[in-house]
Amino acid sequence: MKKNDWNKKIVLGILFIFPLLVYLFFASGKNNFAKLPILTEGVSELNTMASSSAIGFKNKITILGYWGGSLKNKQAEALNLNEKIYKRFYEFEDFQFVFLVNEMYWSEVEQLKNALREGVGTDLSKWNFISVSKENMRTHFESLQTPFELDESASTPYVFIIDKDSNLRGRNDDEKEGTLYGFDARSVAQINKKMIDDVKVILAEYRLALKIYNNNREK
């Protein structure tokens, strides 16, 4: 067989096989292209604890946390979330962080913000803190309906994804935990391997919905 004939066969083979490989690659990434499941509907709104608060879940994709104890003990978790999640996604208009803070430790909020700003001067405009009592924090946490519990200071290292309709989102087919309700902010590995992916999924879901809505309006 002539060299040119071999070259043609190789080119045709690449043209046929490459699209097939691309298809198989994307088809295998089920979690990247499916909606993030709703695990709990109707998480209590934030103004049920602090009626004067202007911070809420409506029309926002929220990373929610419960920090009942001293914030000095939360700096490592805060830095992990800031570096891996917040800096990556904060430029999305409808994205926010919300942390419920024990009113007894409210004076430590600015110290924590300063620790987050050090070095690169992070824009913390979407880091939101709400001062609440331990009792209100426990009551709100119960509305998530997770298997987790707050510790004696009404704190947890886990953070949660809340959608624009106040629903808790997560995984119901996680290979290790079965149902993954929240993410351990102490674990860089879990943030890297799971949380980043899930935040991408829910942001993509809403961007797709907005695109479809705008296309329908133009028709």
CATH tag, 35-218: 3.40.30.10
Among 54, 56, 37, 38, residue whose Cα is nearest residue 46: 56
For residue 179, pLDDT beyond 80? yes
Q: Is the pLDDT of residue 192 over 90?
A: yes
CA dist 11 to 7, 23, 24, 104, 130, Å? 6, 19, 20, 69, 61
Work out the angle at residue 126's Cα, subtended by the Cα atoms of residues 121 and 131, and round it to the nearest 5 degrees.
110
Alpha carbon of residue 102 to chain centroid? 22
Per domain, the residue ranges of the chain are 1-33, 35-218
Kindly state the percentage of the chain with pLDDT values over 90: 65
| Residue 73 buriedness (CB in 10 A; 0-12 / 13-18 / 19+) | middle
- Cα of 128 vs its chain's centroid, Å: 15
- Residue 94 pLDDT > 80: yes
Query: How much is the mean pLDDT over the chain?
Result: 84
Stretch 80-105: mean pLDDT: 95
Q: Is the pLDDT of residue 139 over 80?
A: yes
CB count in 10 Å sphere of residue 98: 22
Residue range 191-204: mean pLDDT, rounded: 95
Choose between 20 and 157: higher pLDDT. Answer: 157
